[in-house]
Chain A
Amino acid sequence: MIEIKKLSRSFGNLLAVDNLDLDVGNEIFGLLGPNGAGKSTTVMMLTTLLRPSSGTAKVCGYDIVKDSKKVRSKISYVPQDMAVDRKLTGRENVMLFAKLYGIPNRNSKVDEVIEMMGLSDRAGDLVAKYSGGMRRRLELAQALVHEPEVLFLDEPTLGLDVSGRKKIWEHIRMLKAEGMTIFMTTHYLEEAEKYCNRVAIIDKGRIAAVGSPENLVSSIGENASLNDVFLEKVKTPEEQAGFNSTQFRNLLRRR
């Protein structure tokens, strides 16, 4: 569904994504990595919002630069920062997307996705009155009105409580069961381990590891978790800057 070849993007002299090669099939694919690793930049290139500096990628067989409009007709994108209109009702927010996508029978389709996201009884309320979890689900509803082939989710569970995150993941699983490909980024490794078919760990724009969570974990050793893989593959900023924990503790004690 997604073929990425030597994809790079720089901002000034900062190389945010560096020669990325990746193939994603019909699966739930998780892109993991520390803050600033280049996850959002990658997603934005794949959703045709950012032009690559070099390299190519295809989504559903269409080139993200040359056939960007075709790509957009196959995908949905939910950005990292929530953007839903507070002065519109939940239903109006979804309806706007249904209209823009040109959905036939949009009234019933809108009701259907709102129902699916469990927002039916609050659909008539202004979004200003929604909780963070409801807004996230509303954004998913917006993305789902047009039944995309590939769904891009940039940190869909950010800032949600345990049950809110679980709900989102169940929805993702259900969408996968219906045949949708999901490409997502997250910082919650336990969840990625549990729900993703495959993950890639990127660090400073480069792939550090890619594979199914089970394979990655077993390559580290028994009783390991994806957290251990992550720590093994990704250099933390402290290590690079030579963070000295003893010195830091002494500093704190002195105060």
Chain B
Amino acid sequence: MKAVFYYFERDLVKWLRGRVTVVSSLVMPAAWLVFVGLALPTKFTDNYLEFITPGILVMTTLFSSLQGGSLMIFDKILGFLNKFLAMPSPRESMLYGKILFISVRGLLQASVILLIATVLGVRVLNPISVLLIYLTLFLFSVFFSALSTMIGLYLGDHDSYAAVNSMISMPLFFTSTALMPYDVMPAWLRTLASLNPVSYAIDSTRLLFEGTIPVYGILGLATGAGIMVLLGTYQFRKAVV
């Protein structure tokens, strides 16, 4: 399984060398946090920043995971995939390396948000909570990066992937509990939000910020991530031979 790490390392180094992309992917989520958290007028809470921080954290990892689906497409159309598949290391390591890279990149972005939120006065109660927030975001990220890589491999070209991505990312975000809690939602939205995996991650993260440990939330996300990785592996195997 060392190969997973080598593939991960390859993507990480390549990403870090694209300075503009790195800066923008770290600055953009922070900008969201500041503008949405400080500027939006709300009635249901007097500390909207505290409420919105988990939402922005999850949103950032969501968008970053969904974007990650294009990585596998590029490796495929540029011929890297075939070169790697002709090597004796286990073929799936390539897939797991991608999922790991996309998820770690999401956590790096999340760290910037956590940092800025702390500067702006949001407090997390203890180190365990911080650790569990990272775990929650990681599992969530694995779920969506496995899904996006699967969609990417299935579609096989970058333009259709970008179209699908923009079609699912925004609805997923707006029908979640990112911007408002269940009790201020209209009934139809409440139903959608409670079915949305994104709300799952947001609710868990929110509980962690409040100092509660969302055992079921984390277990649920772990199960979801596990299933998605299995499905992804199955589809990858089918797609490459």
Contact = CB atoms under 8 A, between A and B. Distances in A.
Interface stretch (A80-88, A181-189, A237-245): A80-88
Given A88-B14, A96-B6, A96-B10, A102 B89 contact: yes
A79 B84 CA distance: 11
> Which of A72, A96, A100: most chain B Cβ within 10 A?
A100
Interface stretch (A47-55, A110-118, A192-200, A227-235): A47-55
Interface string B1-12: 011001100100
A96 B2 CA distance: 12
Contact of B79 (A68, A73, A76, A83): A83
Contacts of B6: 96, 99-100
A100 B86 contact: no
A100 B84 contact: yes
A101 B87 contact: yes
Given A79-B79, A87-B17, A99-B2, A49 B86 contact: yes
A143 to B, nearest CB: 9
A49 B79 CA distance: 12
Range of interface residues on A (Cβ < 8 Å): 20 to 34
B88 interface: yes
B14 A85 contact: yes
A83 B83 contact: yes
Contacts of B88: 69, 72-73, 101
A73 to B, nearest CB: 4
A101 B89 contact: yes
B18 A72 contact: no
Contacts of B241: 48, 51, 68
A68 B82 CA distance: 14
Interface in B29-46: none
A49 B78 CA distance: 15
A88 B10 CA distance: 8
Given A96-B10, A100-B84, A83 B78 contact: yes
Interface string A58-82: 0000000000110011011111011
Contacts of A125: none
A133 B241 CA distance: 31
B17 to A, nearest CB: 5
Contacts of A83: 78-80, 82-83
Range of interface residues on B (Cβ < 8 Å): 20 to 34
Interface in B11-26: 13-14, 17-18
B185 interface: no
A45 to B, nearest CB: 11
> Which of B7, B18, B82: most chain A Cβ within 10 A?
B82
A92 B87 contact: no
Contacts of A92: 13
B20 to A, nearest CB: 13
Contacts of A81: 78-79
B85 interface: yes
A142 B88 CA distance: 14
A23 B6 CA distance: 36
B82 A79 contact: yes
Contact of B86 (A48, A51, A85, A87): A48
Nearest to B75: A83
Nearest to A44: B82
Contacts of A76: 86
A49 B85 contact: yes
Interface string B157-192: 000000000000000000000000000000000000
B86 A75 contact: yes
25 contacts: A48-B86, A51-B241, A69-B88, A72-B86, A75-B86, A76-B86, A79-B79, A79-B82, A79-B83, A81-B78, A83-B78, A83-B79, A83-B82, A83-B83, A85-B10, A85-B14, A87-B13, A87-B17, A87-B18, A88-B10, A88-B14, A99-B3, A100-B87, A101-B87, A102-B89
Given A85-B10, A88-B13, A100-B87, 18 more contacts: A49-B82, A77-B86, A79-B79, A79-B82, A79-B83, A85-B14, A87-B13, A87-B14, A87-B18, A92-B13, A99-B3, A100-B3, A100-B6, A100-B84, A101-B89, A102-B2, A102-B89, A142-B83
Interface of A: 44, 47-49, 51, 68-69, 72-73, 75-79, 81-83, 85, 87-88, 92, 96-97, 99-102, 142
Interface of B: 2-3, 6-7, 10, 13-14, 17-18, 78-80, 82-89, 241
Closest 6 CB pairs of A and B: A83-B79, A73-B88, A77-B86, A72-B88, A99-B6, A87-B14
